[in-house]
Amino acid sequence: MDEPVLLTGAGGRVGQAILRGIGDDYEWRLLDREPLPAAKVPDRVTDADRYVADITDERAVREAMEGVGAVIHLAGDPRKTAPWDSVLRNNIDGTQVVMRAAVDAGVEKFAFASSNHAVGGYETDDRTPDLYRTDDDYRLDGTEPPRPGNLYGVSKATGEALGRLYHDEHGMSVVCVRIGNLTRDHPPREYERGQAMWLSHRDCAHLFDRCLRADYGYEVVYGISNNDRRYYSLERAREALGYAPADNSANYTFEGEPKEGAATEDGGTDPAVAEAPPAEPNFPSDPDTPTDGA
């Protein structure tokens, strides 16, 4: 892609996973409501391509949008307990501002960070905890209607509907990624649900790279790694985007430790001899806090 990619919410967990993985592969515009420290910005991104703005600020969003070819929209209130006034302003109104500006700017591709919480209501008492285990074959595949488990999930389902509107009415390619539980270096520890929907950092970066490179119309896909425990199907992400996840929570113990001989996110196979992950001088060394609120 020759045109820049606008990344909103660039300083958050998902944004940083993307930039760590493919930060050198694209020309970026980074937008966040707080100034980004140098440690969170790839070397090639100039000060002119760093925007400090709220996504409800239409003028600022349109300025950042000018001339971009694609958008990865992550910004919003990520709390699964967020109150209605916050999800309305930050996640619904803000997404509307960003999508409308993208359409008016002629953006070709728009990747929207939806969430597992848009379908959390399918995790009923009679399905769980078996749903999170390898011998259960129940799958959500993206064709099911949203069934939010909280107001945050309602806001993400609304974003998916906005994407459908702007694809149908204006032809913008839109992919909605229902992100699972993103953690770095290991799946969530001692948490069945989190291990079933784990998304490793390298798989996250690869998935959004495919969102930028693939050809599609309107898609809803699940953003998880290739976990044996999964209850989200990866078939549509594979078919529509060419997603090929490398990681699997089954390669770790329930306590989150790599199993001997298993391929893991840091590139090692045997934890006794695996090399440490490559240094990342442009980013903080502290591990990210696990979350299922993407």
Q: Residues forming the annotated binding site?
A: 90, 115, 152, 156
The C-alpha atoms of residue 252 and residue 247 are separated, in whole angstroms, by: 10
∠103-104-106 over CA atoms, to 5°?
65
What tokens appear for 229 in the block? 């425990």
Q: What is the three-state SS of 234-279?
A: CHHHHHHHCCCCCCCHHHECCCCCECCCCCCCCCCCCCCCCCCCCC
Is residue 245 within 8 A of residue 225, CB to CB? The reply is yes
Query: What residues act catalytically?
Result: 152
> Which single residue is written with the structure tokens 């309305």?
88
Residues making up the binding site for NAD(+): 90, 115, 152, 156
**Which neighbouring-strand residues pair with 175?**
111, 219
In the three-class reduction of DSSP (H, G, I as helix; E, B as strand; rest coil), residue 40 is classed as helix
Cα 157 vs. chain centroid, distance in angstroms? 15
Q: Exposed/middle/buried for 278, CB within 10 Å: 0-12, 13-18, 19+?
A: exposed
The two structure tokens encoding residue 252: 């770790």
Q: How far is CA 1 from CA 26, 71, 98, 234, in A?
A: 7, 12, 20, 25
- Residue 15, both tokens: 């944004």
Q: Which two tokens stand for residue 14?
A: 């998902």
